[in-house]
Chain A
Amino acid sequence: MMGPSAYLILSGILFAIGAIGVVARKNALIILMSVELMLNGVNVAFVAVGSYMGDPTGGIFAFMVMTVAAAEAAVGLSILIAIYRLKETIDITELSVLKW
């Protein structure tokens, strides 16, 4: 049977794309989506390793990550709505009341 290394590489690529998105994008909504992509990259690694080893921990962990990601998205989107109501933009370069 093939080891999980191919899946680990895939997860690494997904995670890297997400991380680059967070650093390079300016739209807060896209940044939020990139974070979700990073989390899903992690999920791929967990599920692959868990199923390779026949250990349920990986799958359980992936479910926990999904739950947390949902909660995070809910809070994140509501923060974005609040900021849009005040400034009519969600471009993070325009948010400069506080110095970065």
Chain B
Amino acid sequence: MIAIPFDSSQVMQGIASIAPEAILVCTAITVLMADLFLAEDGKWLLCWLSLAGVLAALGEVYLLGSSRIVGFSGMITSDGFGMFFSTVVLSACALVLLMATGWSERAGTQKGEFYSLILMSTTGMLIMAKGTDLMTIFLGLETLSIPIYVLVGFQRSRMTAIEGALKYFLLGAFGAAFMLYGMALIYAATGTTKIPVLVYMSVGGGMAGSSLFLAGMGLLLVGFAFKVSLFPFHMWTPDAYEGAPTLVTAFMSAAVKAAAFAALVRVAMLLFPGVSPAIGPVLWVLAVLTMTVGNISALGQNNVKRILAYSSIAHAGYIMVGLVAGDLLGSQAALFYLLVYAFMNIGAFGVLMLISQKEDDGYDIHNLRGIGFKYPVLGALLTLFLVSLAGIPPTGGFIGKFYLFSAAVKNGYIWLAILGVLNSAASIYYYLRIVVYMYFMTPEGEVVTPHTPPFGYALALCACAAVVLVLGMIPGAVLTMAEQSVLSLLM
């Protein structure tokens, strides 16, 4: 029997590398406990408690900084790349919790388990973004997904919610199984699941001849495609987005997408170069089809939540353009775009949540008639977010798309860039259609009265608008940050 050596500095390093996650888990458990002791009219405290935990985790992320901390013998690495995505995910979570202050009461989600599940899911996202072992990425993915399945079906008396949850669950579990089989094949081909070792083995095309390894990478890509809703694995997205409570939809579209892309970018930047002749064209086709299918399906929809769901599929396609480009600029653009996308999409959903009176029918585009002139602030905010989603200057969405497509052009993917711009132009139609309904359609009967947002909610909306505008005019600092984090990945 060999005694296992105990190295306390290693243990401390491991704990340091997961400190933000640890804070989130502790908060989640505290929220669950506090829920037991709070009276019904004191439940609002839970939301603020969760928010405090998220902000503490965000503080911890910045305390750790971008220095490289390898924890648990290479299972998880806290580096600049992890820091960037932790920031995106935690800000998205904080915004959603701020919005919950004015929303949970009327949506029936003012419960301990609701906030606890959001925090648990956020933990999974951080683990996924920081995982440097296929096992950690898988566990992060499941820690992220399982609470989201529950959150989608949270309002379980609504048929659409529970149906969306079932579809998301079945397809999500199906996709996870594919990803897992890919991991098993990669393990069979190489004998390791550690990404740095896999990079070492596949560098210079060392593994490109192994069909087992290629099949593994392909299945891994299928698994990721399910999570980030790439064509043809996007079937669940509109249903899950429409069925979920809108707050959860906002959270899913921003944070889940960012976390799944974080792991995908890590794998793509590090492992795909070794197998690029086989996988490059596949990514190209996926990117184009995803954009096109997302945009075309969005054209004919009348439910605003569904429009935004299809638009989120199209946006996954735009981000894939950065991965197809495959160089520093492409990944940097993808990171920047994910950050902007989180803020503009949460902002758009935030405004819609105020306008709609109830789930399902409340999100019909006809309910937006006449909102624009009667409630100028709400109208202007929604217009700003939609303009940014469409990629029109001076917004962050424009800068993000500009960098994505210029990365494609720089790497010789001219057609990809052209198709991307054409798609972007097509998407302007359905975004502006919403704006047209707000300003130029005369309402049938009364204009709906939006809810008055409490302070926290208004703050979150203002923060989204400010970030979208500031990134549209002075993107330099964030672009540098994105560049640094991709560089820290390649080191």
Contacts and interface: CB of A to CB of B under 8 A. Distances in A.
B187 A79 contact: no
B157 A53 contact: no
Contacts of B177: 15, 18-19, 35, 38-39, 42
A32 B187 contact: no
A75 B181 contact: no
Contacts of B159: 86-87, 97
Interface stretch (B79-87, B148-156, B312-320): B148-156
Given A39-B177, A86-B159, A49 B142 contact: no
B30 interface: no
Q: Is the interface of B mostly helix, strand, loop or mixed?
A: helix
Contacts of A60: 135
B190 to A, nearest CB: 10
B279 to A, nearest CB: 21
Given A39-B177, A58-B187, A86 B162 contact: yes
A98 B239 contact: yes
Contacts of A13: none
B112 interface: no
Given A72-B146, A82-B153, A83-B163, A45 B173 contact: no
Contact of B163 (A15, A42, A65, A97): A97
B135 A11 contact: no
B139 interface: yes
B164 to A, nearest CB: 6
A6 interface: no
Contact of A100 (B146, B150, B187, B235): B235
B484 interface: no
Contacts of B183: 42, 61
Interface in A15-63: 15, 18-19, 22, 28, 31-32, 35, 38-39, 41-42, 45-46, 49-50, 53, 55, 57-58, 60-61
Minimum-distance CB pairs A-B, first 8: A38-B177, A45-B184, A98-B239, A49-B188, A68-B142, A82-B156, A35-B173, A42-B180
Interface of B: 135, 138-139, 142, 146, 149-150, 153, 156-157, 159-160, 162-167, 169-170, 173-174, 176-177, 180-181, 183-185, 187-188, 191-193, 235, 238-239, 242-243
22 contacts: A22-B174, A35-B177, A38-B174, A38-B177, A42-B177, A42-B180, A42-B183, A45-B184, A45-B185, A49-B191, A58-B187, A61-B183, A68-B142, A75-B149, A75-B169, A79-B165, A82-B156, A83-B162, A83-B166, A86-B159, A98-B163, A98-B242
